[in-house]
C-alpha cells in the first residue's frame, strides 16, 4: 500500500482495539459483581458500571486520536475527566494494511459520525451476573448440580452481550466493529474469552466465518426481553419453522451472518441508532440488509432521531420476502416518521 492510510481506515483500526478494551472492561465489571445498576426508562432499560466505563473508554480514546469526529454514545454521562487507564491507544495493523474502498478514501474526520453502544444486551448481562453471583456460588460450578445449570444459563446469557462501534458517512453505515466479550465461554475456565468482528461494505467482513442459514427454513431471531403483542404477531406472520429469542441487536446480527437465523424481526420501537449502525455495516458488507419493517433504510446522520421507531428487519438473503410478510396491522402500528 502506498501513502498514509485513509482516515476512515485509521478510525476503524483504532475502533477495533478500542472495542477490545471495552470488552475487557465489560468482563472485569462482571467479575467484580459490583454492577452499579441504574434504571433508565424502566426495569427493562438498564445501565451498569460496565456501560458507563466502556462508553467513557471508547469515546475518550477515539476523541484523543480523532478530535474532529462526532461520537454519539448511548449513555448520558456527566462530562468528567476520564482516568488515563481507560484510554486505549492501540490500533489493528491488519486493518491498516487493507485498501480503503475508493469512495471512502478521501473522507475527512469531521464528516464521520460514530455511533457507540458500549454494552448491547445489558438486560441479559445483569441477569447473568445475578445468576453467577448467586449465593450458592455459581461462579464455581459443580458438575451435575443445580448450580451447574445456573452457570450454563448465565454463560449463555453473557454470549448475548456485545460492544458496538458503527461509523457513518452521509447517513450511511460505512463501517462497523463488534466485540463479543464472552465468546468462547464454552471452552471453560482458562480459555481466552472474546472476539472482534468488523466490516465495511465494499471491502468485506472479518473475524468470523460467513455462513448462510438453511435456505428451506425460516428461522427467526427476535427479542427475549422487550417483546409485546405486535412483536409476536409479526414473528408469527413470517410462518417461522423456528424462533430464537436472544438478547442484543449485535448478537442477532451475529446469528444471521453465522447461519443460525434467517431473519431478525423486531416490530417495535426500542432499538436505537447505536444498536443498528455497526451491525448494519457488517451485515451489508456480506450482502445482507437492515431496514425498518416497511423495508426502508435508516439514516445515521448526526442529527437524526435516535429511536428506530419503525422496528428492525434484518436478513442476509431474501429481504423482500420478509418485508412482504409484515402484516398490514403491524405496518399501521409502526409508521415511518
Which residues fall in the annotated binding site for Mg(2+)?
A: 74, 117, 119-120, 275
* 176 contributes a contact to ligand AMP by CB under 6 A: no
Q: Please, what is the minimum distance in Å from the beta carbon of residue 66 to ligand AMP?
A: 25
Contact 292, 298 (CB under 8 A): yes
Contact 281, 94 (CB under 8 A): no
Q: Which of 124, 159, 275, 280: binder of Mg ion (CB under 5 A)?
A: 275
First to last CA, the chain: 44
* 280 contributes a contact to Mg ion by CB under 5 A: no
Please give the size of the binding site for ligand AMP, defined by CB under 6 A.
Answer: 13
Beta-strand pair 195-200/172-180 = antiparallel
Binders of ligand AMP in range 253-272 (CB under 6 A): 270-271
Residue with cell 478521501: 106
Contact 23, 180 (CB under 8 A): yes
Q: Please, what is the minimum distance in Å from the beta carbon of residue 51 to Mg ion?
A: 6
Residue with cell 403483542: 229
What is the maximal distance between C-alpha atoms in the chain?
60
Q: How far apart are the C-alpha atoms of 110 and 127, rounded to whole Å?
A: 39
Cell triple for residue 179? 466485540
Residue with cell 430464537: 244
Binding positions are 74, 117, 119-120, 275
Please give the size of the binding site for Mg ion, defined by CB under 5 A.
Answer: 5
DSSP 176-237: EEEEETTTTGGG-TTSPP-EEEEEETTTEEESS--BPPPTT--EEEE-SSS--HHHHHHHHH
> Does residue 51 carry a catalytic annotation?
yes
Residue nearest to ligand AMP (CB): 270
Contact 239, 218 (CB under 8 A): yes
* 159 contributes a contact to Mg ion by CB under 5 A: no
Cell triple for residue 104? 471512502
Catalytic residue among 41, 85, 99, 122: 122
Q: Which does 296 bind (CB under 5 to 8 A by kind): Mg ion, ligand AMP, none?
A: none
* 109 contributes a contact to ligand AMP by CB under 6 A: no
Closer of 15 and 271 to ligand AMP (Cβ): 271
Cell triple for residue 74? 448511548
Q: Which of 44, 186, 232, 336: binder of ligand AMP (CB under 6 A)?
A: 44
Q: Which does 276 bind (CB under 5 to 8 A by kind): Mg ion, ligand AMP, none?
A: none
Fill in the per-residue mask, 94 to 133: x = in contact with Mg ion (CB under 5 A), - = not in contact: -----------------------x-xx-------------
Contact 74, 116 (CB under 8 A): yes
Binders of ligand AMP in range 272-311 (CB under 6 A): 275
* 179 contributes a contact to ligand AMP by CB under 6 A: no
Binders of ligand AMP in range 208-247 (CB under 6 A): 223, 225-226, 247
Catalytic residue among 51, 159, 222, 284: 51
Q: Please, what is the minimum distance in Å from the beta carbon of residue 249 to Mg ion?
A: 6
Q: How far apart are the C-alpha atoms of 127 and 79, rounded to whole Å?
A: 29
Q: Which does 270 bind (CB under 5 to 8 A by kind): Mg ion, ligand AMP, none?
A: ligand AMP
Query: Rounded to the nearest 5°, which phi and psi values hold at 120?
Result: -95, 130
| Catalytic (active-site) positions | 51, 122
Q: Which residues bind ligand AMP (CB under 6 A)?
A: 44-45, 120-121, 223, 225-226, 247-249, 270-271, 275
Q: Which residues bind Mg ion (CB under 5 A)?
A: 74, 117, 119-120, 275
Amino acid at each position: 500500500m502506498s501513502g498514509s492510510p485513509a482516515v476512515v481506515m485509521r478510525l476503524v483500526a483504532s475502533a477495533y482495539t478500542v472495542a477490545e478494551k471495552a470488552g475487557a472492561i465489560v468482563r472485569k465489571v462482571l467479575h467484580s459483581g459490583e454492577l452499579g445498576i441504574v434504571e433508565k426508562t424502566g426495569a427493562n432499560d438498564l445501565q451498569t458500571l460496565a456501560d458507563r466505563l466502556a462508553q467513557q473508554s471508547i469515546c475518550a480514546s477515539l476523541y484523543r486520536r480523532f478530535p474532529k469526529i462526532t461520537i454519539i454514545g448511548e449513555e448520558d454521562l456527566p462530562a468528567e475527566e476520564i482516568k488515563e487507564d481507560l484510554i486505549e491507544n492501540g490500533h489493528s495493523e491488519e486493518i491498516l494494511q487493507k485498501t480503503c474502498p475508493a469512495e471512502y478514501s478521501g473522507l475527512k474526520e469531521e464528516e464521520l459520525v460514530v455511533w457507540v453502544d458500549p454494552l448491547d444486551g445489558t438486560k441479559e448481562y445483569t441477569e447473568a451476573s445475578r445468576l453467577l453471583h448467586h449465593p450458592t456460588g455459581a461462579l464455581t460450578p459443580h458438575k451435575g448440580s443445580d448450580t451447574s445449570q445456573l452457570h450454563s444459563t448465565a454463560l449463555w446469557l453473557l454470549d448475548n452481550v456485545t460492544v458496538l462501534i458503527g461509523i457513518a458517512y452521509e447517513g450511511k453505515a460505512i463501517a462497523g466493529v463488534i466485540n463479543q466479550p464472552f465468546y468462547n465461554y464454552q471452552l471453560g475456565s482458562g480459555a481466552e474469552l472474546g472476539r472482534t468482528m468488523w466490516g465495511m461494505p465494499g471491502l468485506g467482513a472479518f473475524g468470523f466465518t460467513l455462513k448462510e442459514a438453511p435456505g428451506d427454513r425460516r428461522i427467526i431471531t427476535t427479542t427475549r426481553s422487550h417483546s409485546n403483542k405486535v412483536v409476536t404477531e409479526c414473528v408469527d406472520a413470517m410462518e417461522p419453522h423456528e424462533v430464537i429469542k436472544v438478547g442484543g441487536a449485535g448478537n442477532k446480527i451475529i446469528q444471521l451472518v453465522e447461519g443460525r437465523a434467517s431473519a431478525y424481526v423486531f416490530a417495535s420501537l426500542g432499538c436505537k441508532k447505536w444498536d443498528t449502525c455497526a451491525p448494519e455495516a457488517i451485515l451489508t458488507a456480506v450482502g445482507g440488509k437492515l431496514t425498518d419493517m416497511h423495508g426502508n433504510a435508516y439514516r445515521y446522520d448526526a442529527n437524526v432521531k435516535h429511536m428506530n421507531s419503525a422496528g428492525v428487519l434484518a436478513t442476509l438473503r431474501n429481504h423482500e420476502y420478509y418485508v412482504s410478510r409484515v402484516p398490514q396491522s403491524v405496518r399501521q402500528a409502526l409508521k415511518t416518521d
